[in-house]
Amino acid sequence: MKRIVGLVVVLFVILAGCKKDNYDAGKQLAEEEILIKEFLATNNINAKRDTSGVYYVISNPGSGNVNYTSNTNVRVKYKLRLLNGKEIPQTTEPINFTLGSVIAGWQIGIPKIQPGGKIRLIIPSVWAYGRQAQSGIPANSVLDFDVELLGIITN
């Protein structure tokens, strides 16, 4: 009997500690869509919108015919800002990564260019870090990236 009472108490404590999660990704995306459109208009940026809600400006399409997959290894240089213009310090050295290992916004945007290409990506938080704050990046932040695709790394 003590065991049952103990289990009931533990179960009650666990359930009481769970808070209801009211996060609605669709609502968040809709709110950020308004912010992004205002940002683009204010800054006179002529960006295209991907069906996902990621906005982009291709300043150089690059060259080649890469058929991207989540296993494609790329080498890039990039700069990151928030919509308020605050630059988030990042390495200035090129980085290598597998496309499937980065935020969804990059997985959507990078395949729009080829090696040597440059793209500006304005990524809603649902395709970036969402509700999780990252070093210097508040939760639910729209991200503004300048990305240069230096090349594809083959093994």
Domain residue spans in the chain? 24-153
> 7-50 pLDDT, tens per residue?
333 333 333 444 445 778 889 999 999 999 999 999 999 999 99
Bin 44: left if φ > 0, else alpha if -120 < ψ < 50, else beta: left
* Burial class (CB within 10 angstroms; exposed 0-12, middle 13-18, buried 19+) of 90: middle
Q: Alpha helix (H) ranges present in the chain?
A: 2-17, 25-42, 104-109
Q: What is the pTM of this model?
A: 0.84
Q: What is the pLDDT of residue 61?
A: 98
**Arch. (CATH architecture) of 24-153:** Roll (3.10)
> 57-110 pLDDT, tens per residue?
999 999 999 999 999 999 999 999 999 999 999 888 999 999 999 999 999 999
